[in-house]
Amino acid sequence: MAVVDLSGKVVVITGGARGLGAATAQAVVEGGGRVLITDVLEEEGARTAAELGGAARFLRHDVTSEADWQAALDHTVATFGRLDGLVNNAGIATGALLEQESVEHFRQVVEVNLVGVFIGIRTAVPLLRAGGGGSIVNISSAAGLTGLPLTAGYGASKWGVRGLSKIGAVELAEARIRVNSVHPGMTLTPMTAPVGIQPGEGNFPGAPMGRVGVPEEIAAAVAFLLSDAAGYMTGAELAVDGGWTAGPTVRTLTGG
């Protein structure tokens, strides 16, 4: 993985036990930063933090809980002394047609994927202000850039994350707090594994690049947005999707 300079930065990453979150935690540590990994998956989260060494810690954290959010950020300051970045990565996926999605499940997905992000931003802002600014990176999805079938709750929540990121960017710019969203396409993670996707060239013809992504590729984009190299980027939506949302593949257009 390409290393981005994050020397001295302290970052909280939700949903950091595995997949995209774990890869992002690794990128932060490799870049010279320190990280608090949070998740409801306690064993996996503790193991990921242990593998990253002394620059990483783990705390159980339900992103839908205001009390858990405050505890996580208090723990960050008590352990590392400051907060410079927040990655709102925790989320759950669903696959149902709009007509078949239950109201209960829709609400559950929105609560985790969108309300959890809102609570996190709101709770982190005072600490970031106190430190003179920082970077918030919200993990949306390619489903937050286009109308993707079978994602009623998931897609709606990820569009919401995209919009919330822009609102945060406008409102918090004066405090030197940057807010951006990252939109992964199909990526091989424990969350997507049940779909049966396979890595490697030619295994995902729906994207112009013809393959699915790997967590390290998404993590590199997140690390860049956390870094000072992205100091003039806020309110941006960064698609890391192999061209999936850019348009149809040449094969589709030519019938090849």
C-beta of residue 45 within 8 angstroms of C-beta of residue 17: yes
DSSP 67-85: HHHHHHHHHHHHHHS---E
Q: What is the dihedral of CA 239, 86, 107, 48, to 10 degrees?
A: 90
Cα dihedral across residues 178, 57, 109, 196: positive or negative: positive
Catalytic residue from among 154, 159, 224, 244 = 154
If we measure between CA atoms, which residue out of 224, 230, 133 comes closest to residue 173?
A: 133
Residue 154 a catalytic site member: yes
From residue 37, give the alpha-carbon distance in Å to each of 86, 144, 155, 160. Answer: 10, 25, 25, 24
C-beta of residue 48 within 8 angstroms of C-beta of residue 18: yes
Instruction: Report the catalytic residues.
Output: 154
